[in-house]
């Protein structure tokens, strides 16, 4: 089966359990099992090639320019790990089916599990280190979901968060390391990197790369000083612990060290760092494990210890060490997964994992007892079980390893660690299963169904099989070792056998086992001593560290971001000015190249009005109505300026927008206080003035700079001017740019406009359905209302003028392509015509005559514009390609038909809809405010008249 398929199967399969959830738990587990099985069989189909020593590869170029390709490869090492991941995965799925209770969402669990499985398989099969990093991060994320699966448990959430923080941090470091490595080797392909041992180790960046990559490996594989997250991750359901923390995720770091072994190992730095970290982890983990009362915590720390052992073996940098490490990975995965599952069974049946409350289970749960005992004895290193073989090899290797110039150091510590290792294994057996049967178990224990004990039993069969007949595993382990070593060393000739003669390793082993038994005998005094010794609690330190970081960032953020908008505004203004000044001062400036134009009296008068209005606004802004009038003047002058400087389209747009904006602000002012009180201090006002003046001077300087110089390159407008008529069929270049050259921009813009209008509508709806509604209804207007709500003159005038305005709008729309005008302006003009009806005749009257809801108008506009764009697909042209032709229908003159006009129609409709929907929403608020809003225009406000007359009919 293709490697792609093997990696993809779990990912695609992850969709299924969630879908099958309603089909029942059996179906859900069954489909997960099938998916895993398919991937497993797919992997096995590649076995012959791997055995023959071939490298199976699959490659798809993804982003070749970045060296990032979807390249997969399968060699002995990858096959070995994939086998563990998929094989043990199958057992875990079967086990989880029985383990999870009815309250647990099984589909969710198996989805996470398959995601994790896919990510793990991805790691071990990646041939590209960037791809590997992607999968690496995916395992961190999916394991976060798995560890925190029981969301209701705070320990689960905290453990998941801690695991994600630590492994995520390591992952970040590793990205750096991998990028350095790729830069040195000149390729991100593992197969290339692995060939460049000398080049990489001679590079000055080797040490930083090594440190960063090891940081990633150590955090993932829980090596000291990052070991603390693993025990806290035990809050996960037991199948997760058994899967992630025995066979897979924690082995990812080990895998990577093995994968990188040919290029990174063999240097003093590698040796010292990896061996030391491994040794410390092994001893520390073993000691802590002995004194843990929680079965899973004990196993967690024993896992930490064994990972340390494997790390140490890889650290020695010898071929024999690597072989011992590979063998121990296999053995550890089998016995540890079995032990975790047994612990899960005990927990499931007795409802406790506290060793102090257990004991005597041998009689009640004989099957579990046999499974757990065999696995534990293997872990302790008892002959005829597989743990013994690899532990012997470890001790043998330790015997030849000299660290810090002391030949006794490594063997002594290795023996010491093994002693504690044996001791906690014996404690696990002795205090859980042996001893008298108790009568105070939280639940009545008995052996579970075969669904739960069969998976660990299968593993224990392997434990015994390898232990009794090590030659069965030998060729496989040697094949894996060969692919770890690559070309750097020969596979050791040593045979796997139980009896090597009276070698030092055997004596060390005997010391460890006997010492372990003695340790158990003096367990109670030792425990008392342990409990009285003060020691740092990793979780507390971790939480204090996180709290400190949070406090630090809070202090920093709150300084800038304290909820005061004025502060953000000031910070932003100053930042922009400073950044602009920096850019200015570091750039080069050419001489002024344009001649200045003479000032005309008209222009000067306009300038004076604009400046007076702006300055007036600053000084009179506390009177809000006055400032609204002044801003109207400013807007008017801006549009006059547009006319003056050859921009008729802009002027028309500006002046129409000005009208609707002022109406909008008036509507708003209807509710807001009409006066702004003085609140800011004089110093504060001085500061703001300084910022404002700096900003004003900066923009003035920049505008001046632009205006007296020619563009440094020919503007692309040359193209637009040249092609507007030829290609776009219009003589108004601005309009042709809008609907043709840059039609896609315009399309986006009308959508934004529509969204803004819908947002306003939604906000109005929210306001009117909440507590604000009552307040609006009871609101007393702060100014007397006009006596005639709908003045007759205005009503008559607006109605008469309506058809005229509509015709003008239509005319502006039609001529837009060739003369100033177009959809935007026409839309605004028509909106004003409609708004005038609302203003003159009242909201009720106008909305009663509204035939098309404004939402629909917006939608129709966007739709027409979009369909016009799509239309060009039918003639195999890109989106929004325009076309035009000239037709002549006598007696009219020849005129033009362009698809751009259809697009402009869309623009027109969207603008009308958006403007009207916004204004209508505002006036709906106002309508609720003073309830007596009659259906009839040209009436008088009844509340002003003393006799309550019936609503008059005179107005229609």
In the region spanning residues 683 to 712, those forming contacts with other proteins, defined by CB under 8 A, are 684, 688-689, 691-693, 695-704, 706-708, 710-711
Closest CA to 248 of 99, 74, 114, 48: 114
Handedness of CA 551, 555, 558, 560 (dihedral sign): negative
Which residue's CB is nearer to other proteins, number 587 or number 598? 598
Give the binding range for other proteins (CB under 8 A) out of 176-184, 192-200, 513-521, 671-679.
671-679
Closest CA to 754 of 653, 658, 862, 657: 862
**What part of residues 828-887 is at the interface with other proteins (CB under 8 A)?**
828
| Residues near 398 by beta carbon (within 8 Å), at least 6 away in sequence | 312, 410, 411, 413, 414, 508
Which residue's CB is nearer to other proteins, number 205 or number 552? 552
User: Residues 900-939 vs other proteins: string with x where CB under 8 A?
Assistant: -----------x--xx--x--xx--x--------------
Instruction: Compute the least distance from the CB of residue 866 to other proteins, in Å.
Output: 17
Instruction: Compute the least distance from the CB of residue 199 to other proteins, in Å.
Output: 52
Which residue's CB is nearer to other proteins, number 677 or number 891? 677
Q: Is 661 in the site for other proteins (CB under 8 A)?
A: yes
**What part of residues 565-584 is at the interface with other proteins (CB under 8 A)?**
565-567, 569-570, 573
For other proteins, the binding residue among 34, 676, 686, 943 (CB under 8 A) is 676
DSSP assignment letter at 470: G
Instruction: Compute the least distance from the CB of residue 819 to other proteins, in Å.
Output: 6
Closest CA to 670 of 327, 891, 922: 922
Closest CA to 386 of 328, 306, 427, 305: 328
Buried/exposed 840-863: b ≥16 CB within 10 Å, e otherwise: bbbbebbeeeeeeebeebbbbbbe
Instruction: Compute the least distance from the CB of residue 880 to other proteins, in Å.
Output: 15
Instruction: Compute the least distance from the CB of residue 550 to other proteins, in Å.
Output: 16
Instruction: Compute the least distance from the CB of residue 809 to other proteins, in Å.
Output: 15
**What part of residues 541-560 is at the interface with other proteins (CB under 8 A)?**
558-559
Give the binding range for other proteins (CB under 8 A) out of 9-17, 168-176, 380-388, 603-611.
603-611
Yes or no: say if 708 and 596 are a contact pair by the CB < 8 Å rule.
yes
Which residue's CB is nearer to other proteins, number 38 or number 571? 571
Please state whether the peptide bond connecting residue 891 to the residue before it is cis, i.e. omega within 30 degrees of 0: yes
In angstroms and rounded to an integer, the radius of gyration of the C-alpha atoms of the chain is 40
Which residue's CB is nearer to other proteins, number 20 or number 900? 900
Instruction: Compute the least distance from the CB of residue 723 to other proteins, in Å.
Output: 11
User: Residues 878-907 vs other proteins: string with x where CB under 8 A?
Assistant: ------------------------------
Instruction: Compute the least distance from the CB of residue 671 to other proteins, in Å.
Output: 6
Count the alpha carbons within 13 Å of 299 in the hemisphere toward its beta carbon.
34
* Spatial distance between the Cα atoms of 703 and 114, rounded to a whole number of angstroms: 60
Yes or no: say if 786 and 940 are a contact pair by the CB < 8 Å rule.
no
Which residue's CB is nearer to other proteins, number 262 or number 906? 906
**What part of residues 169-208 is at the interface with other proteins (CB under 8 A)?**
none
* Spatial distance between the Cα atoms of 337 and 460, rounded to a whole number of angstroms: 10
For other proteins, the binding residue among 540, 562, 783, 950 (CB under 8 A) is 562
Closest CA to 303 of 354, 337, 260: 337
- In terms of phi and psi (left: phi > 0; alpha: psi -120 to 50; beta: otherwise), the region of 344 is alpha
Buried/exposed 397-416: b ≥16 CB within 10 Å, e otherwise: bbbebebeeeeeebbebbbb
Instruction: Compute the least distance from the CB of residue 58 to other proteins, in Å.
Output: 49
User: For other proteins, how many residues bind (rule: CB under 8 A)?
Assistant: 125
Q: Is 401 in the site for other proteins (CB under 8 A)?
A: no
Which residue's CB is nearer to other proteins, number 2 or number 766? 766
| Residues near 189 by beta carbon (within 8 Å), at least 6 away in sequence | 67, 69, 71, 127, 128, 129
Token duo for residue 765: 């709806």
| Residues near 23 by beta carbon (within 8 Å), at least 6 away in sequence | none
Instruction: Compute the least distance from the CB of residue 558 to other proteins, in Å.
Output: 6
Which residue's CB is nearer to other proteins, number 331 or number 918? 918
Instruction: Compute the least distance from the CB of residue 861 to other proteins, in Å.
Output: 13
- Report how far apart, in Å, the C-alpha atoms of 723 and of each of 247, 348, 726, 737, 904 are: 68, 79, 5, 10, 19
Q: Is 598 in the site for other proteins (CB under 8 A)?
A: yes
Which residue's CB is nearer to other proteins, number 503 or number 634? 634
Query: The tokens 């899967």 sit on which residue?
Result: 243
Please state whether the peptide bond connecting residue 796 to the residue before it is cis, i.e. omega within 30 degrees of 0: no
Q: For residue 291, count other CB atoms closer than 10 A to its CB.
A: 18
Which residue's CB is nearer to other proteins, number 766 or number 943? 766
**What part of residues 705-764 is at the interface with other proteins (CB under 8 A)?**
706-708, 710-711, 715-717, 720-721, 724-725, 731-734, 737-738, 742, 745-746, 749, 752-753, 756-757, 759-760, 763-764
Yes or no: say if 321 and 262 are a contact pair by the CB < 8 Å rule.
no
Instruction: Compute the least distance from the CB of residue 685 to other proteins, in Å.
Output: 9
Instruction: Compute the least distance from the CB of residue 684 to other proteins, in Å.
Output: 5
Residue 643 backbone dihedrals phi, psi, to 5 degrees: -60, -45
* Spatial distance between the Cα atoms of 44 and 49, rounded to a whole number of angstroms: 10
Which residue's CB is nearer to other proteins, number 374 or number 828? 828
Q: Is 607 in the site for other proteins (CB under 8 A)?
A: yes
Q: Is 593 in the site for other proteins (CB under 8 A)?
A: no
For other proteins, the binding residue among 34, 553, 575, 680 (CB under 8 A) is 680
**What part of residues 767-826 is at the interface with other proteins (CB under 8 A)?**
767, 770-772, 775-776, 818-820, 824
Yes or no: say if 828 and 653 are a contact pair by the CB < 8 Å rule.
yes
For other proteins, the binding residue among 141, 638, 832, 902 (CB under 8 A) is 638
For other proteins, the binding residue among 487, 679, 893, 954 (CB under 8 A) is 679
Which residue's CB is nearer to other proteins, number 18 or number 648? 648
* Spatial distance between the Cα atoms of 529 and 637, rounded to a whole number of angstroms: 88
């Amino acid at each position: 089966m293709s490697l792609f398929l093997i990696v993809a199967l779990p990912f695609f399969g992850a969709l299924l359990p969630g879908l099958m959830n309603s089909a029942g738990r059996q179906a859900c587990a069954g489909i997960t099992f099938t998916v895993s099985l398919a991937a497993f069989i797919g992997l096995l189909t590649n076995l012959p090639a791997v055995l023959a020593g071939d490298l199976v590869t699959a490659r798809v170029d993804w982003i070749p320019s970045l060296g990032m390709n979807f390249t997969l490869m399968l060699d002995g090492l990858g096959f070995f790990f994939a086998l563990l991941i998929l094989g043990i995965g199958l057992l875990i799925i079967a086990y989880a089916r029985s383990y999870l209770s009815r309250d647990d969402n099984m589909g969710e669990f198996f989805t996470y599990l398959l995601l994790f499985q896919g990510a793990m398989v991805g790691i071990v099969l990646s041939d590209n280190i960037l791809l590997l990093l992607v999968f690496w991060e995916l395992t961190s994320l999916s394991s976060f979901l798995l560890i925190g699966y029981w969301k209701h448990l705070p320990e689960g959430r905290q453990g998941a968060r801690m695991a994600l923080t630590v492994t995520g941090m390591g992952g970040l470091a590793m990205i750096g390391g991998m990028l350095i490595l790729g830069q040195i080797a000149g390729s991100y392909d593992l197969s290339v990197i692995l060939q460049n041992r000398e080049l990489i180790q001679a590079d000055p960046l080797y040490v930083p790369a090594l440190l960063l990559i090891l940081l990633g490996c150590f955090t993932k594989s829980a090596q000291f000083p990052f070991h603390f997250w693993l025990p806290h991750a035990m809050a996960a359901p037991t199948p997760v612990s058994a899967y992630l923390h025995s066979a897979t995720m924690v082995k990812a770091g080990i895998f990577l060290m093995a994968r990188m072994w040919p290029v990174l190992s063999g240097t003093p730095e590698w040796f010292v760092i990896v061996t030391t970290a491994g040794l410390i982890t092994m001893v520390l983990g073993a000691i802590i494990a002995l004194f843990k009362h929680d079965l899973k915590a004990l196993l967690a720390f024993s896992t930490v210890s064994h990972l340390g052992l494997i790390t140490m073996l890889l650290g020695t940098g010898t071929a024999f060490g690597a072989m011992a490490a590979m063998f121990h990975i296999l053995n550890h995965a089998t016995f540890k997964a079995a032990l975790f599952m047994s612990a899960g069974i005990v927990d499931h049946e007795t409802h406790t994992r506290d060793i102090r409350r257990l004991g005597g289970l041998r009689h009640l749960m004989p099957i579990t007892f046999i499974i757990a005992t065999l696995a534990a004895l293997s872990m302790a290193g008892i002959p005829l079980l597989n743990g013994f073989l690899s532990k012997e090899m470890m001790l043998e290797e330790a015997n030849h390893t000299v660290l810090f110039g002391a030949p006794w150091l490594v063997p002594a510590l290795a023996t010491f660690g093994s002693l504690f290792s044996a001791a906690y294994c014996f404690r696990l057996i002795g205090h859980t299963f042996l001893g008298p049967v108790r009568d105070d178990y939280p639940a009545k224990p008995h052996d579970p169904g075969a669904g739960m004990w069969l998976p660990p039993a299968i593993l224990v069969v392997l434990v015994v099989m390898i232990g009794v007949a090590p030659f069965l595993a030998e060729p496989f382990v040697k094949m894996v070792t060969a692919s770890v070593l690559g070309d750097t060393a020969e596979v050791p000739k040593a045979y796997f056998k139980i009896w090597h003669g009276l070698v030092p390793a055997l004596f060390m082993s005997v010391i460890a086992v006997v010492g372990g038994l003695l340790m158990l005998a003096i367990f109670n005094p030792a425990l008392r001593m342990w409990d009285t010794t003060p020691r740092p609690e990793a979780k507390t330190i971790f939480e204090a560290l996180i709290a400190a970081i949070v406090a630090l960032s809070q202090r920093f953020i709150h300084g800038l971001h304290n909820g005061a908008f004025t502060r953000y505004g000031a910070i932003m203004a100053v930042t922009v000015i400073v950044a602009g000044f920096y850019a200015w001062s570091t750039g080069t400036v050419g001489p002024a190249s344009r001649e200045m134009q003479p000032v005309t009296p008209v222009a000067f008068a306009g300038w004076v009005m604009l400046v007076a209005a702006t300055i007036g606004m600053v000084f009179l802004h506390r009177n809000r109505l006055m400032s609204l009038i002044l801003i109207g003047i400013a807007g008017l002058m801006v549009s006059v300026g547009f006319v003056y400087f050859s921009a008729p389209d802009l002027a028309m747009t500006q002046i129409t927008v000005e009208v609707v904006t002022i109406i909008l602000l008036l509507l708003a002012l209807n509710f807001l206080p009409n006066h702004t009180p003085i609140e800011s201090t004089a110093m504060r006002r001085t500061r703001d003035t300084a910022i404002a003046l700096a900003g004003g001077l900066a923009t003035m300087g920049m505008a001046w700079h632009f205006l007296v110089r020619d563009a440094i390159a020919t503007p692309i407008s040359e193209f637009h001017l040249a092609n507007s008529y030829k290609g776009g069929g219009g003589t108004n270049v601005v309009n042709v740019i809008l609907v043709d050259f840059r039609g896609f921009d315009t399309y986006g813009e009308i959508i934004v406009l529509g969204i803004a209008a819908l947002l306003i509508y939604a906000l109005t709806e929210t306001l009117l359905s909440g507590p604000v509604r009552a307040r609006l209804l009871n609101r007393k207007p702060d100014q007397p209302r006009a006596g005639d709500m709908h003045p007759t003159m205005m009503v008559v005038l607006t109605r008469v003028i309506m058809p005229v305005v509509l015709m003008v709008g239509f005319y502006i729309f039609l001529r837009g392509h060739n003369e100033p005008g177009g959809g935007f302006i026409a839309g605004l003009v028509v909106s004003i015509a409609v708004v005038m009806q609302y203003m003159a005749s009242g909201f009720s009257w106008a909305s009663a005559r509204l035939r098309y809801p404004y939402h629909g108008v917006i939608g129709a506009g966007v739709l027409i514009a979009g369909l016009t764009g799509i239309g060009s697909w039918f003639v195999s042209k890109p989106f929004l390609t325009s076309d035009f032709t000239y037709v002549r229908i006598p007696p009219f003159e020849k005129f033009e038909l362009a698809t751009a006009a259809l697009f402009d129609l869309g623009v027109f409709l969207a603008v009308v809809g958006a403007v009207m929907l916004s204004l209508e929403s505002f006036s709906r608020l106002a309508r609720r405010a003073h309830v007596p809003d009659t259906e009839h225009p040209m009436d008088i406000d009844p509340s002003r008249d003393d006799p309550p007359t019936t609503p008059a009919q005179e107005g229609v």
